[in-house]
């Protein structure tokens, strides 16, 4: 069975000093935290360990002068995590930058799509 052919798509990644990066993976993690209220559940939704998810959130919180995600340990309700207002704005702005990038590159992407090797559309995975 073949997979649907994916259209060409640009990927936004912003490199910060000292090797930190802001990209779609961290933004997806933030969306899952918003939906689930949990770093561990967000990590599970992305097939990553709690430790990996926690390290990414720790990195995000260290990249800015404001906290992106606040977490609470255990207790009666089992802890949890929420996006701060800054985290919500960060997510919205990043998604806005992605949309602006897609809009700005639409005609060039269409040109690339029209001229790419059609063999790239053949699904060879089984």
* Residue 78 DSSP one-character state: T
Task: List, for residues 64-91, the tens digit of each pLDDT value.
Answer: 999 999 988 765 556 799 999 999 999 9
- This prediction has a pTM of 0.85
Task: List, for residues 8-31, the tens digit of each pLDDT value.
Answer: 899 999 999 999 999 999 999 999
Residue 86 buriedness (CB in 10 A; 0-12 / 13-18 / 19+): middle
Look over the chain and give the mean of its residue pLDDT values, rounded to a whole number. Answer: 90
Q: Which residue intervals of 11-84 are DSSP H helices?
A: 24-36, 39-45, 50-63
Under CATH, to which class is 21-116 assigned?
Answer: mainly alpha
Segments making up each domain of the chain, as ranges = 21-116
Q: What is the mean pLDDT of residues 98-107?
A: 97
């Amino acid at each position: 069975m073949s997979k649907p052919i994916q259209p060409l798509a640009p990927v936004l990644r912003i490199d910060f000093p000292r090797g930190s990066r802001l990209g779609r993976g961290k933004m997806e993690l933030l969306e899952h935290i918003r939906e689930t209220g949990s770093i561990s559940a967000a990590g599970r939704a992305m097939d990553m360990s709690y430790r990996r998810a926690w390290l990414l959130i720790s990195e995000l919180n260290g990249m800015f002068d404001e906290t992106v995600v606040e977490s609470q340990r255990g207790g009666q309700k089992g802890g949890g995590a929420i996006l701060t207002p800054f985290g919500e704005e960060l997510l919205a702005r990043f998604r806005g930058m992605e949309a602006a990038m897609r809009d700005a590159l639409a005609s060039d992407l269409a040109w690339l799509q029209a001229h790419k090797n059609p063999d790239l559309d053949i699904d060879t995975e089984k």
